Structure 1
Amino acid sequence: MSSSYSKSLSIGSRNSSASGSRTEPPPAYPPVYSNPVETSKFQFESLDFTPSPLEIPTASECVAHLKLLNAFHRLRHEVGNYEGLFGIKDPGAVNESDRNRNIAWVKEKRWAIYVTRAVDRFEKWWGTFPETSDGRLVNIKTTDFEIGGSINPSTFPTSGQSLDIREHLPPLDVLMVWHAYMLNPRIYLEDCMRLSKHDFWASPFPWDLIHKWIDGDTFLYTARNIAMINFTKDTGLAWDNIDGPNEKEILCPGCLSTLHVPWTLPPAEMFLHDQSFESFMNHDEGFAAKQFTEMCGKCYLTITHEKLRVAKFTKDCNALRTQKRPLPGTILGLDGKPEMVDVKKRVGNHDLFFPNRLVENLDDFQFSFRTNPNLTVNSIKERIESIILSSSQRGLANKDQNNLDFVAKKSRNAIRRMMAQYWENSSPFGIDLVGAVIRQGTFVQKMYKIDWYHSPAIMATMDRSILKYHRFIGLIGENPKKTAVPTLDVDLAWHTHQLTPKVYYKYTVAETKKFVNHDDKIPEGDLSKFFKWTCNAYEKKYGKPYSECSCWYCECTRESQRLSVVSKFNPIAKAKQWEVDVYRSRQPTDPVNGPHISTHNAIKWSSDGYTKRRQLVEEHDEAYQKACKHAKKKGREPPPRDDYAYVYSPYGQPIYVPYYGPYVADPTINDCTYQTEPTQVDNRSGAGGSCAAGTCGGTISLGSCAGDAGPVCATACGGHGNASGGCGTCGGGDGGGDGGGGCGGCGGCGGCGG
């Protein structure tokens, strides 16, 4: 991949956003992994991976990260283009008008199966590491959260002994899953605490090895023999994903017997006509597909992903009863830090442990598929609804507190966060890692297209990104009720920092008084609005452009600041704005490859999505006209806005996308290809994941507004929570917690009770 080649990855054209008329699609671009520019080797031969004394990411780490992302891009391209992989052949006689779409869809299907297998492989690799803290076996229990015990969970994030994984570094596909997992920092922290992986938490991403094992020209990942041998010995798996078994081992939720189910069920003769293509792509019943179905030969239960999610909840409840392992969502406070029991309280009335009390003190959660084969996660939500709305049931759950009928705001927040772990997630982890990898793939694509790696000024670019990131975190600390959204260059430094979890925790707590989360899901309209605020706040404070890009979208988002009263009548602000204008006049106006808004976490609504997007288009139309007038007044050409009719898939196929802007959810992701929908949430009132009756408004969303995982609030919700995360923080109510985003993320519903 060369710089000149990456610049050719441009999108086609359309005749203004208002018309929406189609043009002929441009040809697909060919993959290139050879003949890089001459700057790629000499400047990286002696990268210094000494940690920064300031506990911030270093330029060398960011460069190694870019190298890793290029390796991920190569892997995805090779898997998608592997003809016949997993029995999936390229489409044959399909309608010519849909040819590009179908080819991209088939390649994405191969990638979806590959990633699902990779997550399974990661789970096995993760399981090979000891459940230790500073080398000693340890299991955190609910009783450990009382101050004065032998174990102090509050010190977990800043302690632990880093494991030496140099000889146990996994294959690239497993590394990719670990990478996406760590980029959900609060989920990663709580999972490491609940699942007793303290020393694993303390282990940073081994940047020096990654830099050494990935070829700087081809981005081929080549591990040492000892690592390959250890992976196979420890996990029982082949080093290469595609050499693994064609079936996955699962336990029947009904009788716990072992079953081996296929990853995919492609037809014997694929795609001979349109009907067979559509049938397979929409109705595959293999484990990697949304419609997974398998009948247990012993108890005859029809197993689906939904039943496996209920089984996960049941397993966690049993672990709570038998091992005192806290339920997910009950460990971290609203600031993202482990919250100990108040000195005036006990475990039995600790606010965050309310979900644990529901399970331990009531018999309502003794679920069995034998007596009710139609159980769903929504059944769990409805059971909690009935308890929340019943004074007598609340009293039984709260038998150890003085006011039996009272459910604290933190308790309601803990319910929502607990439920967020089960909506569309049957894995032992706190987030659907398949979806996490796919959303990160959007960021990988952006880094590949911008191609900073081959820039002769890459080290200076990385230093500037790190400085902007430090300022970005400062904005979060100074504006706890706002959501800060990163640009792509800031996000690169931010991601790099999160891959050293213990250091990242210390840094964000010191700078913001909380463990800053990186929200994995934010509605695209909110993302655009929050980005506008971030641009204005950054430029007002530093007199420098936040988004170093002059595309039409970035010009539109800055237009409000240019017209603000402060800018007009405050001479200092006006001088800063002049500096921004001068700097911006020298920047490129390419809306594709500019380092503007980072949108890998953008999601769209399943209902009224078209209406919301159309409203955004109209708002940007108005702002664009103002930006054009301003450009002409300054003697500049207006930023072009007629080149977004076609968007390239990761495999090179141009896909027509109306009303596309840099802020929208990745239009090249076909949500129905995956077990869950990576870029879409169901916001219909009453849908699975919507707020439980009696808990919305001034209380809490059960899994909705999830931010980190699961659906977002239905239309009944309002306001924004004071989340310690999102792409920074969230504003509005006084909720908070893991999400940030959604209906105010982790606050939603008026802020989880306030």
Structure 2
Amino acid sequence: MALVSPTNLLSLHHASGDQTTALNNCPSRRYRYANETNGEQPLKIPDPMLFLSPSTDHRPKVLPTISHCAIHLEMLEVFHTLRHEVIQSTNLDAAFDIGPRATTKSRRKWDSRTRKYIAEAVLIQDPNIGDKRKMKWTYFLHIAATRFHEWIRRVANHLKDAQLGAPLPRYLFLPPLDVLVIWHAFLLNCDDFKAYCEKNKLFGIQDIVFPWADIHAAIDPDTWKYTLPSEHSDWLLNTHGLDSNLVETLAHSGKKDTLIQNVLHAFYEPQKRSKQHSTSRLSQTLRKARQTQELNKPLVENVERQCVFVDKMHAHRWIRSPAVAGTLRRAVDRYGKFLHLFRLHPDQFLVPTLDVDLVWHTHQCSAGRYRTFVTERVGRFINHEDKIGRGTLDDGFTNAEQWYRLRYGEQYQVCLCWSCEAILEEVEELDDDEFGELDPQLGDLASRVERRVHYYREVEVARTLGREMPLWGHG
């Protein structure tokens, strides 16, 4: 089909890039806007129906659902937003005592009045301030890792008590955001997580089903903010001494509490150590985080490696795509085929495409169910290894691409941009049209795709820049 020829796709991608650049500079004015109507609202993006597909199927021998993958995309956007907030926070700069260390230097300057060179003082700005601010994210993760140890041990204790008849707290498995970041990245290093649970006698932890529905309920899809229900945050604080919002807690305490300031400053400048000791729970956690940095380093590195994947998901923005349901449905299908290649080629190292990797990560978040499913489907356990070098990854991707095409007769690496996915969705609808109710004309198809993608792109730009939202159907 000419519409999906390489030449036309390249032109489409160029046009899409130009369109996004133009929208960033100025709205298209193709639409009416929410402030110009009597209460009319723009489309909900993502569509709430995306999260209503069967997501309560907890059988261990099924693939992840579209809903689980969609919530995972939401969660990754939350992680991206959190990292940006931590790095850009001036309040956290002050709390950790990170600031520009400007220096004054003297330089020779010709003075035309005296006709002599004179010494002039020049203020040299700190060229490393950007890198220093990024280090806050690492410090933040060390504190989060300490809180993760506290949280998961208490969860294990509740599970142990439940075996003796004690009821499980309603929100037991929904942690604060910083703890969720650590837990999520740890789960993606399956063997490491299993060894950690066994070493620390955390019985029952690997059988936890990841709380997708509760995570979705805690996320604001407009701002990508994660907020625990008040009864849950109160329960965490009163029962376990865990603040639900670590960023706010550090920023607030770092302003008013000198002892907290001293401990936070020690992250940035280890030689700064206070001889005074606070008995507050936060201060104890911070001191422990400072003292166990080497022990927690692997957990922090897990998260920092995953930041690359988080950035890729943010760049693709599938969760905001007009064709996200189709993208995820095909990704789940391709993931099932990818796993089957492990059974067919047990001696081969295989690397997934980006969409397959998303589903793989989603599957691993429920550690016990993933282990059971893969062991039965493949005949052995497949560990997800994210510490592999670039060369080995390239070889593994080539292997997977070769065997996938030979086995299924399909392209392995495909373009997953909004436009290509929207085109594919339209083509699939035509293929499924038994009674010829849809218009097969390519010109009309292209027009529908362009109109839909343009609207979704304009909504996303408006949301990002804080503009008024365009209304669908008024273009």
TM-score band by shorter chain is 0.5 to 0.7
CA–CA separation in structure 2 for the residues paired with 1:214 and 1:448: 16
**SS where residue 521 of structure 1 aligns?**
coil
Cα pair 2:86 2:247 within 8 Å, conserved: no
Q: Does 1:124 align with 2:161?
A: no
Equivalent position to 2:398, from 523, 532, 537: 532
Cα deviation, 1:294-352, whole Å, max 9, x if unaligned, reads 8898xxxxxxxxxx99x99xxxxxxxxxxxxxxxxxxxxxxxxxxxxxxxxxxxxxxxx
Contact 1:128 1:234 in 2 (8 A): no
Within the candidate set 488, 492, 501, 2:358 is matched to 492
The answer to whether the 8 A contact 1:163-1:200 is kept is no
**Contact kept in structure 2, 1:132 and 1:199, CA below 8 Å:** no
Which residue identity is paired with 1:437?
V
Structure 2 portions without partners, runs of 5+? 1-12, 26-40, 104-123, 252-258, 276-287, 425-475
The question of 1:476 aligning with 2:353 is answered: no
Structure 1 position 76 matched with structure 2 position 83: yes
- Conserved 8 A contact 2:101-2:125: no
Q: How is 1:122-271 mapped onto 2 (pairs within 5 angstroms)?
A: 122-131=148-157, 135=161, 166=171, 169-244=174-249, 264-265=264-265
Matched residues in 2 for 1:470 and 1:495: separation? Answer: 13
Partner Cα separation in structure 2 for residue 36 and residue 492 of structure 1: 29
- Change in 2 beyond 3 A, CA 1:209/1:528: same
The answer as to whether partners of 2:144 and 2:182 remain within 8 angstroms in 1 is: yes
- Secondary structure of residue in 2 paired with 1:490: helix
1:455 has 2:321 as partner: yes
Listed one character per residue, the Cα deviations across residues 245-294 of structure 1 (whole Å, up to 9, x for unaligned) are 69xxxxxxxxxxxx9995553xxxxxxxxxxxxxxxxxxxx34x6x8568
- RMSD between superposed Cα atoms in Å: 4.5
Q: Which is richer in helix?
A: 2
**Corresponding residue SS for 1:432:** helix
1:42–1:241 Cα change, 3 Å: closer
Aligned to 2:70: 63
Aligned equivalents of 1:162, 1:440: Cα separation in 2: 35
* 3-state SS, counterpart of residue 522 of structure 1: coil
1:105 aligns with 2:131: yes
Q: Match of 1:107, as an amino acid?
A: R
Q: For 1:369-388, what aligned pairs fall within 5 Å after superposition?
A: none
**Structure 1 residues 100 and 181, CA, compared in 2 at 3 Å: closer, same or farther?**
farther
Displacement of 1:230: 1.4
Aligned with 1:129: secondary structure? helix
Q: Is the 8 A contact 1:118 1:174 kept in 2?
A: yes
Kept in 2: contact 1:52–1:58 (CA 8 A):
no
- One-letter code aligned to 2:357: D
**How far off is 1:135 after superposition?**
4.9
- Contact kept, 8 Å, 1:135 with 1:199, in 2: the verdict is no
Percentage identity across aligned positions?
30
> Structure 2: which amino acid aligns with 1:426?
L
The one-letter amino acid paired with 1:509 is T
What is the letter of the counterpart of residue 79 of structure 2? F
Counterpart Cα distance in 1 of 2:227 and 2:415: 36
Return the letter of the residue paired with 1:462.
L
Q: Give CA deviations for 1:355-394 in whole Å, capped at 9, x if unaligned.
A: xxxxxxxxxxxxxxxxxxxxxxxxxxxxxxxxxxxxxxxx
Change (3 A) 1:198 1:55: farther
Matched, 1:544 2:410: yes
In structure 2, the partner of 1:426 is 295
The whole-number CA distance in structure 2 between the counterparts of 1:211 and 1:443 is 20
- Structure 1 gap ranges (5+): 13-27, 30-34, 139-160, 247-258, 266-285, 298-307, 313-423, 552-582, 588-754
Question: Partner amino acid for 1:120?
Answer: T
Per the alignment, residue 429 of structure 2 pairs with none
Per-residue CA distance 1:90-132 (angstroms, 9 max, x = gap):
64769xxx99984542331222222222112212212222347
Aligned partner of residue 198 in structure 1, secondary structure: coil
Alpha-carbon shift at residue 521 of structure 1 (Å): 0.3
If asked which structure has higher relative contact order (CA below 8 Å, sep 6+), I would say: 2
Number of matched residues?
Answer: 352
The residue that corresponds to 1:503 in the other structure is 369
- The yes-or-no answer on 1:46 pairing with 2:52 is yes
* TM-superposition CA deviations, 1:599-618 (whole Å, max 9, x none): xxxxxxxxxxxxxxxxxxxx
- Name the aligned partner's letter for residue 438 of structure 1: E
Change (3 A) 1:186 1:293: farther
Cα separation, partners in 2 of 1:432 and 1:263, compared to 1, 3 Å: farther
Q: Secondary structure at the match of 1:179?
A: helix
Q: 1:469–1:493: 8 Å Cα contact kept in structure 2? A: yes
Check 1:122–1:82 CA distance in 2 against 1; reply closer, same or farther (3 A cut). same
Deviations, residues 34-53 of structure 1 (Å, cap 9, x unaligned):
x9975424434634312265
CA distance in 1, matches of 2:172, 2:85: 26
Give the Cα separation in 2 of the matches to 1:208 and 1:38: 18
TM-score of the two chains, using structure 1 as the length reference? 0.41
- Displacement of 1:514 in angstroms is 2.3
Whether the 8 Å CA contact 1:64–1:207 is kept in 2: the answer is: yes
Supply the distance in 1 between the matched residues of 2:302 and 2:18 (Cα, whole angstroms). Answer: 25
Query: Which residue of 1 is the match for residue 388 of structure 2?
Result: 522
Q: Which amino acid aligns with 1:106?
A: K
In the TM superposition, what are the counterparts of 1:299-698 in structure 2 within 5 Å?
Answer: 425-427=294-296, 432-549=298-415
